[in-house]
Amino acid sequence: MSARTTTPWPLVALFTAGYLAPYLLPTTVGRLSAGLPLSATEAGSIGSALLLSSATAGFLLASRVDRFGPRGLARAGLLLAAAGYGTAALTTTIPLVVLGAIVGGLGSGTITTVAATGIAGQRDPHRTTTLGLLGVSALAGALYLTIPHLGPGHGHPLAAIAVTALLVLPVTRRLPTAGAPEAPHTPSARALRANAAPLPHRRAGLVLAAAMLCWSLAQNSLWGVSGRIGLQQAGLTEVTVGAVFAVALGAGLLGVIGAGALGRRLGRALPIGAGTALIAGCIALSAAATDLTSFATGEIAWNTVYPVVLSYVIGLAASLDRRGRWAVLVGSASSLGTACGPLAGSLLSARVGYPGMGVILALGLLLITAPMTAVALRTRRTAALPQEHPVVEIPVVEIPLDAVPAPRTAYDTAGPRQATAGAAAGPGPGSR
C-alpha cells in the first residue's frame, strides 16, 4: 500500500508569491514608464534590475537552504519582498524606486529558491509545480483585471506583490527550521545523504541551464513589451490590454490543468520540444499584432502553451537531483534570462520594430528546441522521478528463538519525509 500523498500547500503559496513579480512584469514596466519621468528603455532597465536581483539570490542560495533552514529563509525573502516592493510603490523618487525593486527582487529570488528546493524533494514535483503555476496564473489574471480600475500611478502592481508576500508569511510556520530532525531511515533521508556529493548529471544540467537562459530571454523580451505592443501598435486601451492579459492567463490555467492531468503520459521530450516550437510561432504572431484580434490570439495562444512547457522543464530539472540543486540553478539561469528580457525587448523593438523583434525571438527559440529535447530524451533513461520508481522499505523484525517480545522502540516508521528537503531557483523562470 502506498502512502497517501499530501499537497504541500506552503510550497505552492511560496511559488505563487515568488513568481508573481515576473508575471506582472508588463504592467509594472508600463506603469513605471507612464507614471514616472522614465523612458520605455529606462523602465525596462528597472524591470531587468529587479529580475537580475532575483536570479542572483537563486545562484547565491542554491546550496544553502539546509544551512539556513527553509522557514527562516522563506520568512526573510517574504519580508524583503514586502519591504522592497512596498517602498518602490510608495515613492516617486527614482533612486528609491530602483533600490526598492532590487531589494524586492532579492526577496522574490529567495522565495522561489525555497519553493524550488522543496518541490524537488516531493514525491511528485510536476504535480506541485502545476499547482504553483495555477496559483500564480489565477492571481496575476485577477490583478490584470483589477489594476486598470485603481487609477493611474506606478505603485499598484508593486503594492500587490508586497501585499501578497505579507499574506503568505503565516504559512511559513509549516516549514522546517535549520537542523530540524528527520526520520533517519526514510527513503528520502537516505537519498539525500547519497546525493550530498557533487552534482549528478552535470552535462545535462549545464545544457538545460544554458538553454533555459535563452528560452526565458526570448519569452520575456516579448512579455516585457507586450503592454506597449497592445497600446501603441494595436491601438488598444489599458483596460482592453489588461483584459486580454487576464484572459490569456486564464487560458494558461487551462493549459496547466491539462498538463497536470496528462502528467508523464507523453514523457517530457514531446511537450518541451513541440511546445517550444509552438511558442515561437505565437511570439511572432503577437509581436506583429496590429488589432485586437491578432493581439488577443497571439497572447492567449502563447500563454496557454507557455506554462505547460515551463511545468515540464521544472520537473525535468527537479529529476536531475533530488536535493533540488539543479532545480535551483536551472531556475536561476531562467531568471537571469528573464532579467535581460525587458531590456533586450526594448532594444530590439527600437532597432527593428516589434514584428522584426518577434521574428528574431522565434528563430532563437527554434534553435534551442533541439538541445532541450535532447536533455529530456537522455534523462528519461537515467533520471527517473521519485514517484516513477518508489523505494519501498520493509522493516525486518528479528524474532529471537526464546520468543522474547521485541521492545516497541525496535520498530520504526516508513514513508516519505513530509518536510521540504535539499539545498537551494526563479523566477524562475522563469521565468515569469
pLDDT given at position 292: 93
Phi, psi of 394 (to 5 degrees): -110, 110
- The residue with cell 550530498 is 196
| Amino acid found at 275 | G
Greatest mean pLDDT among 189-203, 204-218, 309-323: 204-218
**268-310 tens-digit pLDDT:** 888 899 999 999 999 999 999 999 999 999 999 998 898 888 8
Per-residue pLDDT for 233 more than 50?
A: yes
Q: Which amino acid is at 15?
A: F
Res 381: pLDDT: 52
Q: How confident is the model at residue 5 (pLDDT cuts 50, 70, 90)?
A: low
pTM of the predicted structure, to 2 decimals? 0.70
CA distance 150 to 166: 21
**pLDDT for res 380:** 63
**How many angstroms separate the CA atoms of 204 and 268, rounded?**
14
Position 366 scores a pLDDT of 95
**The pLDDT of residue 261:** 77
385 closest CA partner among 54, 89, 127, 49: 127
Provide Rg for the chain, Cα atoms: 22
Under 8 Å between Cβ of 123 and 387: yes
| pLDDT value of residue 185 | 35
Give the C-alpha distances (Å, rounded to integers) separating 5 from 117, 127, 128, 311.
Answer: 18, 11, 11, 19
Tens digits of per-residue pLDDT, 16-36?
Answer: 999 899 888 888 988 898 889
Average pLDDT, the chain: 79
Torsion of CA 49, 305, 161, 149, to 10 degrees: 110
Torsion of CA 269, 272, 273, 275, to 10 degrees: 140
Q: What is the pLDDT of residue 197?
A: 55
